[in-house]
Amino acid sequence: MFVLDSVVCADLFPADGSSGGAQIVAQAGSNGGYAAVTGADVYMQLGFMPDGATLQWTPQVHVGPGNIILEKGTRGIRFRNYTAGVVATVSAGISEPSEPAIQLTSAGVSSSTSTGGGGVILDRVVNLTSFANSLAENTLYDYLLKAGTLPNSGALRLTLRGRWNSQSAGANTFTWKIKFGGVTLWGAASNGFAGAGSPVGAWWLEVLLMNCGAPNIQSIGAAGGMSRDTPLAGGGAIAGPDGASERLAAVGDIADAAIDTTADQHLTVTCQQSNANVGNVIAVRSGILEQL
């Protein structure tokens, strides 16, 4: 059994082959393991040996406090502080092939950072973000992608869901933008939602951003939609087309970019309304960012 016991993280990952710090490596193979993070968020990397000899680290993943199960074949794990100077404490263990697999059954243990679809979760939207009575271009989502996180052929998938209200007398148009590295790569505008009947509804947006064989060549594709809840005479609501439901489509749903991912870059989604009213609201309810 290879073990880390309440090790304090540094701001940088331990060097490859280092026997100290927040890192363990099982050279002879592994039967799985566990990790636990306390005190603060961290960046984590897992080590694998696909050729049986050379240790290769996965891209770093943002992990919050909690427990993680490591799958069989995981040869290494290492950590560094997510925010410089904000110290986290980590513990971990990797079983040798001859030892039983580690099983944690206590409440709250996560099975892994896997999404179940071949990717890893970089970020989750867990807090409601909303803007009302504003003509400004408001940031609905922003994530700082750290330098070197995205491999030369790596991809990010962002999925966002939310609600909108439009209660002004005049039509209200929602203009959406997706930015990477401060550059607007995709944009779309809805039709105007008239205020009669105080319409409300749901919206969705999905983004796929890929490095195309190099760290400074990207392709981005996105699609989204806004649906209107139609009031019923007897109360309640149904979701369905009433002339206002639509797919958000830009002029060219796929765009190319040349953003340097060997440096820190922000992935940002904004929305701007054309009519200000206390009842004109755009809100994010849930979302997830995956690395594929």
Domain final residue pick, 84, 111, 138: 111
Domain final residue pick, 111, 136, 158: 111
What was the pLDDT predicted at 100? 58
* 184 domain residue, yes or no: yes
Is residue 83 domain-shared with residue 137, that is, in the same domain? no
Domain final residue pick, 93, 111, 129: 111
Is residue 141 domain-shared with residue 282, that is, in the same domain? yes
Is residue 126 domain-shared with residue 249, that is, in the same domain? yes
pLDDT band at 139; cut points 50, 70, 90: very high
What was the pLDDT predicted at 17? 65
Q: Which of 87-96, 170-179, 220-229, 256-265 has the lowest mean pLDDT?
A: 220-229
Is residue 229 domain-shared with residue 271, that is, in the same domain? yes
Give the end-to-end CA distance of the chain in Å, rounded to a whole number.
Answer: 31
Is residue 96 domain-shared with residue 137, that is, in the same domain? no
* 12 domain residue, yes or no: yes
pLDDT band at 91; cut points 50, 70, 90: confident
* 177 domain residue, yes or no: yes
Section 114-123 average pLDDT: 58
Is residue 171 domain-shared with residue 197, that is, in the same domain? yes
Is residue 284 domain-shared with residue 171, that is, in the same domain? yes
User: DSSP letter string over the chain?
Assistant: -EEEEEEEP-SSPPPTT-SSSSEEE-TT--S-EEEEEESS-EEEEEEE-TTSSS-EEPPPEEE-SEEEEEPTT--EEEEEESSTT---EEEEEE--TTSPPP---STT-BS-SB-SSS-EEEEEE-S-EEEES--SEEEEEEEEE-TT-S-TT-EEEEEEEEEEE--SSS-B-EEEEEEETTEEEEEEEPPPB--TT--EEEEEEEEEEEE-SSTT-EEEEEEEEEEEEEE-TTS-EEE--SS--EEE--SSSEEEE---TTS-EEEEEEEEESS--TT-EEEEEEEEEEE-
What was the pLDDT predicted at 255? 75
* 277 domain residue, yes or no: yes
* 232 domain residue, yes or no: yes
- Total structural domains in the chain? 2
Q: Which domain holds residue 94?
A: 2-111
Tell me the pLDDT tens digit for each residue of 180-231. Answer: 999 998 888 887 776 555 667 888 899 999 989 888 889 888 888 887 765 4
Is residue 98 domain-shared with residue 165, that is, in the same domain? no
Say which residue, 230 or 10, is predicted with more confidence: 10
Is residue 77 domain-shared with residue 167, that is, in the same domain? no
Is residue 140 domain-shared with residue 285, that is, in the same domain? yes
pTM above 0.75, yes or no: no
Is residue 102 domain-shared with residue 129, that is, in the same domain? no
Say which residue, 160 or 4, is predicted with more confidence: 160
Is residue 262 domain-shared with residue 133, that is, in the same domain? yes
Q: How far is CA 1 from the centre of its chain?
A: 33
Nearest 5 degrees, angle CA 106-CA 25-CA 59? 80
β-bridge pairing 61-63 and 183-189: unpaired
Q: How far apart are CA 181 and CA 105, in angstroms?
A: 42
CATH number at residue 15: 2.60.120
* 116 domain residue, yes or no: no
What was the pLDDT predicted at 245? 46
pLDDT band at 166; cut points 50, 70, 90: confident
What was the pLDDT predicted at 119? 58
Q: How far apart are CA 75 and CA 98, in angstroms?
A: 14
* 173 domain residue, yes or no: yes
Predicted confidence (pLDDT) at residue 283 exceeds the cutoff of 80: yes
Q: Among 84, 85, 102, which Cα is nearest to 93's?
A: 102
Please check whether residue 89 is in contact with residue 8, taking contact to mean a CB–CB distance below 8 angstroms: yes
